[in-house]
Amino acid sequence: MAQPSVIFFDIDGTLLTDEKVLPASTKEAIFTLKCLGHTVAIATGRAPFMFKDLRRELEIDTFVSYNGQYVVLNGEVIYTNPLKMSPLVQLTEAALLNNHPVVYMDHEDMKANVPEHDYINESIGSLKINQFPTHDPLYYEGRELYQTLLFCPEGEEKQYEEAFPDFDFVRWHPVSLDVLPKGGSKANGIAKVVEKLGFPKERQYAFGDGLNDKQMLSTIENSVAMGNGEEEIKQVAKYVTKSVEEDGILHGLQMVGLLPK
């Protein structure tokens, strides 16, 4: 049997299908890992409030959320990395001039700086969650924000990348990007967890499919890209499994030797 290890799973396109369904084989594999003594964690770009039900279903209380900016170990917050407020306000002002809305996000909620916008409806709607941003243009005041969503078509983010060096911009939808603190990543958040748990690099695993998984899969020694993942992600991962709809998590865990075939 494999030595106790820690395994980090992305959510969208990795644990969940495009239709946001958790395959039965994936759920069974997660519980089998835990029965074998492994530590199972989530590493996602989502906010903590966006995957409460999934954590409850899988009985997972260790997670890296907001692409590494809000990290929880065994139910306790161990690391936060909020956005710098002054340049965020400037970014918002610039985006408004271009009819590009933003959504402010902390660990509890998300609020849009405009009452209504098609880009927000389209992209947030694709997540199929039961929460939607309401309007509060001053939500940034007096609180720490760990991520902001910027809504603009592909290619139009270049102007923001050049003007706001304090942030990283990571596209997750054709009309939406994550705005993160410069250098913030899932890999950094994972490092905070591993530092506490003490797993050596050869017993660290990560599964992902999207561009926000690139640094994670480049850094973790035993990295697995989903078959449905971006080609760029497959090139940096050590292994490539089947797609999430084809029992890709189970197949990948068997491939790396964490579960029996």
- Which residues share a beta bridge with 76? 73
How many whole angstroms separate alpha carbon 1 and alpha carbon 9? 21
DSSP string, 84-112: PHHHHHHHHHHHHHTT--EEEE-SS-EEE
Phi, psi (degrees; rounded to nearest 5) at 70: -145, 110
Return the biggest CA–CA distance within the chain.
Answer: 58
List strands edge to edge, sheet with 63-65.
76-80, 70-73, 63-65, 39-43, 6-9, 204-208, 222-225, 239-240
Instruction: Decide if 10 is catalytic.
Output: yes
How many whole angstroms separate alpha carbon 253 and alpha carbon 261? 9
Pairing label, strands 110-112, 39-43: unpaired
Q: Which of 46, 16, 58 is nearest to 244 (CA)?
A: 16
Residues making up the chain, counted from first to last: 261
Q: Which of 168, 145, 147, 141 is nearest to 157 (CA)?
A: 168
Sign of CA dihedral 257, 51, 121, 189: negative
Catalytic machinery residues: 10
